[in-house]
Amino acid sequence: MADTRGCILEALRTAVRLPPAPRPVLPLQPELILDRPQLVARFTEELSVQTGVVLRATDARDALRHLTETAKAEHIATIMTSTDSALAPLDLKTWGQTHNIAVHTAADFADREAFRAACFGAQAGITGADFAIAETGTLGIIFHANQPRLISIAPPLHIAIFTIDRLVPTYEQAISQVFQDKHTPPSQFAFITGPSASADIQAIAFKGMHGPRKLIVILVG
Amino acid sequence: MQARTQEFKATARRELGNALSQTFLSLLPPGFTALRQIGMSSFPDPDAAVEYARAIRAEAIARLPELLEQFERRAIELGATVIWTRTSHEANEIILDLARERGATYITKSKSMITEETGLNEHLREGGVEPFETDLGEFITQLLGRPPFHIVGPAINVAPEEIRDAFMAKAGLKESTTDPVRLGLAARLFLRDKFEHLKMGVVGVNMAVASTGTIINVENEGNIRMIKSSPPTVVALMSPEKVVPTMSDALHLLRILSRNCTGQKITSYVSFDSGPKRDREIDGPEELFIVIVDNGRSQIYQDPLTREALRCIRCGACLNTCPVYTKIGGYPYGFAYSGPMGQVLNPLLLGLVDTRDLYQACTLCDACREVCPAGIDHPSLLLSYRARAASDVHGQQTVHALLRRSLATLLAFAMTHPRLWDLGIKLARPLVNIAAQKGSINNLPGAQGWFACRDLPAMPEKTFRERWRQDHG
């Protein structure tokens, strides 16, 4: 294999070199001048286009009220939740006991197999979000031990709860924090803009292909 | 994949008579053009955005060797395993071995043009590992044993009745339905089980970021995130030109790619993977293999002209505007890539001999070049293929090409001498019209080749100038 690598790189290196032209000027993204209420409005508007629902909560208690109503409306009995710092103040396990909803975290499962089965069996997944990007109504989520990947993709309903300070105007503000020089980036980072979707049959668009059918955002603050 | 580029004309003729393909194709130019324009108009300056994307791709190709090395170094630092392969066969063998070593009886895969090119599915199946396509459109084409019709919607022209029958026979669909949403649900249920118990998944790569060693995948359906989250082993297959210099370049290309592709400002999901999962994470791959397959690209790179074809980011915008593609659809191109990008790429990957019809089937209208966000000049490339094909291996013109050239010289001489031209056409018109049937000329002695895929309207009795003299003289 080392030889193959050498051959390919050598062929590329010894080919005629043509220096690239200088980069043209790129106008700044217009979202950069938005203030916080405008960012909230833009985020909400863009995510709504993708059928994402944005609920505003004044504090953690109010967020739990939204969550209770959502769980009732969607007939949720089993929830898988991450243990992201954004969710800590909510104490979801206690909330689940109060409302007779089984709330599980990754720590409840011994291995990948058990965790996968639980994620595919759960009716909803609750995660935090590291960024809410106004530009396109996009969530930016860093995956790590307390924010497993499957929770936001396997269950049919994804609920993301986070505080308003996570709002940023464009992708760049999120990416520059996630991929900082000299820091090891997370194993996975994802942009999530609405539920999963397809239009592969007769160009008829619908939500809920392989991932969630619904995305609900509870914005605290 | 098995190339069928020599069947271009026959397949094109058949597809012209395929009502379903034609219905979809007739909607493509107005539909996709409008979607793309709406998407692009959300840029503060759409032209500047396109120019910038073209500059990124130009730079990525100009700096390809060092960017690849940088990407590899960073990816290895993050714990990924990078494997270089020269041919499709080598890449397929590596992936088959990885699956076997891990005891995987099946794999799931994302829609990936490079796996179409290498023929990964056939190779895995022959090796005893069942590959499941998980993109809805690819899942359908796989069940039906068809090539992709369109890069974005591989099965968009397939009748729901046909999908229903295939799903009932092979994908566990119980109720008879032709509703796209219910059919989608059936595919969802069938594939969820595969995702849940997956040992190894295979994905393509939209972009590989040199500065961070990150691979980026763009999708709407969530199948790629499933494949990159659930199994302990993930293989990402990419060709060398997928590399881009920096993360901010990747973000700009992301904005451009989705807008050009489906008119979306962004797809439902974009996932950025930097190495395998870290120690305490419960999901995500324990091992991430990045397989780089050259498959002739380092040779394509030798020529500064053909190198330009490697700029392509597979958005599919050129298909939607091409007057040829939008008449014949994706099947005639006979290989992984269709439309103008296929006309440019397939001859480079398969050779100019067996792909002649592909680079001939172009009106040089320039629509693809105008719409291309990567800055590829398709018409110039196609002209260069034609010029090369007109010469033999020693660079000498073939007899056929010499004849054509002499004819062109003669015509040019006549056209620059009006009296000679007038006399010529006066004599030629009745002669040519002998071959006319029902107002069109379908053949002329000695020009069968030219008429094989072209018709001429019959010549009117008098020229415009003769009629003008008669009526106004």
* Model ipTM value: 0.97
Q: Are the Cβ atoms of B268 and A194 closer than 8 angstroms?
A: yes
Query: Does residue A22 form part of some domain?
Result: no
Binary contact (A196, B85; C-beta < 8 A): no
Contact B192 A187 (CB under 8 A): no
The verdict on residue A190 lying in a domain is yes
Number of domains in chain A: 1
B260: tokens are 């050009």
Q: Do the beta carbons of residue B67 and residue B243 sit within 8 Å?
A: yes
Q: Which pair of tokens denotes residue B438?
A: 């029902």
User: Using CA atoms, how far apart are residues B369 and B327, in angstroms rounded to an integer?
Assistant: 19
Using a CB–CB cutoff of 8 Å, tell me whether B380 touches chain A.
no
Contact A149 B48 (CB under 8 A): no
Q: Which residues of B touch A195 (CB under 8 A)?
A: 268
How far is residue B458's CA from residue B441's CA, in Å, rounded to a whole number? Answer: 6
CB of B150 within 8 Å of any CB in chain A?
A: no
Question: In this structure, what are the phi and psi dihedrals at residue B225, rounded to the nearest 5 degrees?
Answer: -65, -35
Nearest residue of A to residue B232 by CA position? A112
A150 inside domain:
yes
Q: Is B277 on the interface with A (CB under 8 A)?
A: yes
The beta-carbon neighbor of B272 closest among A50, A189, A200 is A189
Q: Is the pLDDT of residue A7 over 60?
A: yes
Is residue A187 included in any domain, yes or no? yes
Sequence ranges of the domains in chain B: 1-41+313-389, 43-295, 410-472
**pTM of the model as a whole:** 0.93
Say yes or no: A118 contacts chain B, CB-CB below 8 A.
Answer: no
Please report the sign of the dihedral spanned by the C-alpha atoms of residue B377, residue B380, residue B386, residue B388: negative
- Percentage of chain B modeled with pLDDT above 90: 81
Q: What CA–CA distance (Å, rounded) separates B281 from B283?
A: 6
Is pLDDT of A218 > 80?
Answer: yes
Cβ-defined contact of A115 to B282 (cutoff 8 Å): yes
The three-class DSSP label of residue B311 is: helix
Q: What is the mean pLDDT of residues A192-211?
A: 96
Chain mean pLDDT for chain B? 94
The partner residue sitting opposite A148, judged by closest CB among B135, B240, B283, is B283
Q: Confidence band (pLDDT; 50, 70, 90) for B464?
A: confident
Does residue B394 carry a pLDDT above 70?
no
At B401 the pLDDT is 77
Q: Which domain holds residue A79?
A: 37-220
Does the pLDDT value for residue A1 go beyond 60? no
Any idea what DSSP says for residue A180? -
pLDDT per residue as tens digits for the range B347-391: 999 999 999 999 999 999 999 999 999 999 999 999 999 989 887
Q: Does B270 touch chain A (CB under 8 A)?
A: yes
A189 touches chain B (CB under 8 A): yes
**Chain A closest CA to B195's CA: distance in Å?**
9
CATH at residue A171? 3.40.50.10420
List pLDDT tens digits, range A38-50. 999 999 999 999 9
Q: How confident is the model at residue B455 (pLDDT cuts 50, 70, 90)?
A: confident
**The token pair that represents B246 in the structure block:** 């920096």
Tell whether A116 lies on the interface with B, counting CB pairs under 8 A.
Answer: yes
pLDDT 10s digits, B255-314: 999 999 999 999 999 999 999 999 999 999 999 999 999 999 999 999 999 999 999 999
Report residue A212 as tokens: 């969630």
Q: What are A42-91's pLDDT values in tens digits?
A: 999 999 999 999 999 999 999 999 999 999 999 999 999 999 998 988 99
CB contact under 8 A, A29 and B44: yes
Percent of chain B with pLDDT strictly greater than 70: 99
State yes or no: pLDDT of B395 exceeds 90: no
B372 touches B379 (CB < 8 A)? no
CATH number of the domain at B43-295, please? 3.40.50.10420
Residues above pLDDT 70, as percent of chain A: 99
Q: How confident is the model at residue B44 (pLDDT cuts 50, 70, 90)?
A: very high
> For residue A11, which amino acid is it?
A
Q: What is the pLDDT of residue A2?
A: 60
d(CA B37, CA A202): 22
Q: Which two tokens stand for residue A30?
A: 């217009």
CB contact at 8 A, B183 and B159: no
Whole-number Å distance between alpha carbons of B353 and B347: 8
pLDDT band at B178 (very low <50, low <70, confident <90, very high): very high
pLDDT tens for each residue of A86-123: 898 899 999 999 999 999 999 999 999 999 999 999 99
pLDDT at B172 over 60: yes
Termini Cα distance of chain A: 55
Average per-residue pLDDT for chain A:
96
Q: Dump strand ranges (E) for A64-210.
A: 78-81, 102-104, 124-127, 131-133, 138-143, 157-163, 167-168, 188-192, 197-198, 206-207
CB within 8 Å: A26 and B69: no
- All residues of chain A having their beta carbon less than 8 Å from the beta carbon of residue B282 are 106, 109, 111-112, 115, 145, 148
A201 closest CB neighbour out of B163, B272, B281:
B163
With CA atoms as reference, report the closest residue to A196 among B222, B263, B227, B225. Answer: B222
Residue B88 vs residues B2, B91, B237, B291: alpha-carbon distances, Å: 12, 5, 11, 11
Rg value, chain A, Cα? 21
Q: How would residue B1 be classed by pLDDT, with cut points 50, 70 and 90? A: confident
Query: Is residue B437 pLDDT above 90, yes or no?
Result: no
Whole-angstrom distance, CA of residue B203 vs CA of residue B201: 7
Task: List b or e across B252-265, with b for residues whose CB sees 16 or more CB atoms inside 10 angstroms.
Answer: bbbbbbbbbbbbbb
- The pLDDT, as a whole number, for residue B445 is 82
Helix (H, G, I), strand (E, B), or coil: what is residue B206?
coil
Q: What is the pLDDT of residues B96-141, one digit of tens each?
A: 999 999 999 999 999 999 999 999 999 999 999 999 999 999 999 9
Assign B393 a pLDDT band (cuts: 50, 70, 90). low
Residues constituting chain A: 221
For residue A74, being part of any structural domain is answered with yes
pLDDT at residue B443, as a whole number = 86
**Rounded to an integer, what distance in angstroms lies between the CA atom of residue A62 and that of residue B80?**
43
Distance CA B211, CA B51 (A): 22
Any domain includes A153: yes
HSE of B40 in the Cβ direction (CA atoms, 13 Å)? 21
Round to whole Å and give the CA distance between A167 and B35: 28
Instruction: State how beta strands B243-244 and B207-209 pair.
Output: parallel
Over residues B2-29, the pLDDT tens digits come to 899 999 999 999 999 999 889 989 988 8
Helices (runs of H) and strands (runs of E) counted in chain A: 6, 12
| pLDDT of the residue at A139 | 98
Residue A19 lies in a domain: no
Q: Is the pLDDT of residue B426 over 90?
A: no
Provide mean pLDDT across the span B219-238: 98
**Contact A154/B at CB under 8 A:** yes
